Amino acid sequence: MDRQSRFTVTGGAGFVGSHVAERLSGLGHPTTVVDNLSTGNLRNLESFRDRLTFIQGDLTDPAVCRRAVEEADVVFHLAALPSVPRSMADPWASHEHNVNATVQLLLACRDADVRRFVYSSSSSVYGDTPTLPKVESMELEPRSPYAAAKLAGEQYALAFARAGILEAVALRYFNVFGPRQDPRSAYAAVIPAFLTALIEDHPATVYGDGLQTRDFTYVDNVVDANVLAATAPADRVNGQVVNIGAGQRTSLRELVGVIEGITGRSLPVEELPARVGDVRDSLASLVRAQAGLGFVPSVPLEEGLRRTWAWIQAERETASPSRKVG
């Protein structure tokens, strides 16, 4: 990347967004982070805050969008109201923050002559179709308001690209995990929830029989994909949607076994009824990612779990210095 390129990361105080902002600013690029801190946390930025321009604001406000993208060459749009269960409880909030805010941001990017827009989408847009792996060209069957909202956002971004308004690429993430992912949220993803259950010595909750599979993707791989999406030639990525995953699927029961092997601890499981809106199986085809972006995941599941376990232990030590875990 041109070292003079300027970047904006929306949702940059969140889990994935903070990792993207850290990578970009660490490479010496002027980087602006915008976040309303509804799910993000300034603590995620504290080790590199001095390298950033931070804007606290909500992207449903056009003025915040304009300020956020001023002078930006590339905008990484990671801001979202996450969680399938949350969207089932409040569909309008999911639409407002995942669709309306995206359109406001795209309009601001158009007016600021932003070169490229990298949109963070979700594998949830595929729904529960039995076909594996999930290929970008297959029919989409979102089965939650969150999934529908993410699909609407990506289609707006790609429509702007196909209309020649700006360059855009949409990245469909598959079950991202890693340090800074909030294990305390009521909507915590399965890996931080499992690791927290382990460290607190209580059973992990599994919704369903535990045989459902996911393509767990370590966050550093997702950051790599974002950088590649920002720099790949336009004729290879503009107007395209691209899967970003590990390219392998793991059942929740298998995940428990891997965690037990890494930590040397037993993790009992409590099974509860399957949740409405959840999909049964997920696996990314990475053919387009490899061809268009040159993307190959570099951190496998076990190594990612080791790093995440170390982070959770360190976080617990920081929160409770007198309490030893190990």
Q: Which residues are identified as catalytic?
A: 146
The answer to whether the beta carbons of residues 77 and 35 sit under 8 Å apart is: no
Number of residues written out for the chain: 326
Which residue carries 């805050």 as its tokens? 49
CA-based R_g, the chain, Å: 19
DSSP bridge pairs for 56: 35
The answer to whether the beta carbons of residues 75 and 101 sit under 8 Å apart is: no
Cα end-to-end distance, the chain, whole Å: 41
The rounded distance, in Å, linking the Cα atoms of 252 and 236 is 35
Q: Which amino acid is at 211?
A: L
CA 135 to chain centre: 19
- Burial (CB < 10 A; 0-12, 13-18, 19+), residue 233, is exposed
Q: Which amino acid is at 281?
A: D
The rounded distance, in Å, linking the Cα atoms of 79 and 309 is 25
- Render 135-178 in DSSP notation, one character per residue: -TTSPP---SHHHHHHHHHHHHHHHHHHTTSSEEEEEEE-SEE-
The rounded distance, in Å, linking the Cα atoms of 157 and 75 is 12
Phi, psi at 243, each rounded to 5°: -70, 140
